[in-house]
Structure 1
């Protein structure tokens, strides 16, 4: 079976997700600690705007001496990636698909079952994609509710998210 997840239905843009590349995404979260951490409900867009603004201000003051480069990964971070258990928030992907204004539910389809979620549950969800540094055997992704109520028994074999 393919390791691709589809987002389709009542969206402006159908999206194809490949969990194999999420290990390089800065939005990934450590699933071993994510549900125990205290999180603030800060707006990602607002944080991005502040970071870009600070970068722009620094360029104005100091000049653009070098082109931007990806931050190098320390040995500790490499070890963490090799042995880590990670997930990624589903919200950015659903937002980029641009659900219709009348969208209220999301059908989560697995190889075996279909689950009906509210839009809020889907937006707060985490998709697990790695366990102890390896791709999931019962993947390509696991679905975790944002409140962690299924953190020990996630929904597995995720194949498609259909917005209705």
Structure 2
């Protein structure tokens, strides 16, 4: 249930999609392909950058925001909905090398190569009805424009930046 990202990166990383259910960056699958939600995401990025700055400047504020407790209602909602996670920030953390052009997605059914720009703007489905994707997971890849919404790339076991 882990997803390694390797290849032409400065830092190979391993993602654990099973813990994303509590991540603030997740997006409801039903809202992922709405133009309105994408605009909200851009506004959220500015807000998040501002919050990161505030935390860096104010250590007391940082201590308070580390472990926010979730309510019982929020926990129940997490376990009922389907979620996707934008992959872009994870790729940023790997420091993709400048000469990288493509991404090879190793799946249970072989390999699929997509342009790196397409991967950067993609969404990873990691929870369906609040449960991890055990049979054909750990993640499914959706293009940001929703063009493969009915036929995502499934059973991705590894991403190799090439």
Of the candidates 6, 14, 17, which is equivalent to residue 15 of structure 2? 17
Question: What stretches of structure 2 of length at least 5 have no aligned partner?
Answer: none
Q: Does 1:68 align with 2:64?
A: yes
Q: Deviations over 1:5-58 (max 9, x none)?
A: 11001100111111111111111111122112422273876433312445678x
Question: What stretches of structure 1 of length at least 5 have no aligned partner?
Answer: none
Q: How does 1:27-46 map to 2 (within 5 A)?
A: 27-38=25-36, 39-40=38-39, 42=42, 46=46
Contact 2:56 2:62 in 1 (8 A): no
* Cα root mean square deviation, aligned: 2.5
In the TM superposition, structure 1's runs of 4+ consecutive aligned residues that sit over 6 Å from their partners are none
Contact 2:55 2:61 in 1 (8 A): no
- Distance in 1 of aligned mates of 2:53 and 2:2: 35
Residue 152 of structure 1, CA deviation: 1.8
TM-score calculated relative to the size of structure 2:
0.86
Instruction: Choose between structure 1 and 2: higher helix proportion.
Output: 2
Evaluate the alpha carbon distance shift between residue 12 and residue 81 of structure 1 in structure 2; reply closer, same or farther with a 3 A threshold.
same
TM-score calculated relative to the size of structure 1:
0.85
Rg comparison, structure with higher value: 1
- Distance in 1 of aligned mates of 2:152 and 2:2: 18
What secondary structure is seen at the aligned counterpart in 2 of 1:150?
A: coil
What secondary structure is seen at the aligned counterpart in 2 of 1:121?
A: helix
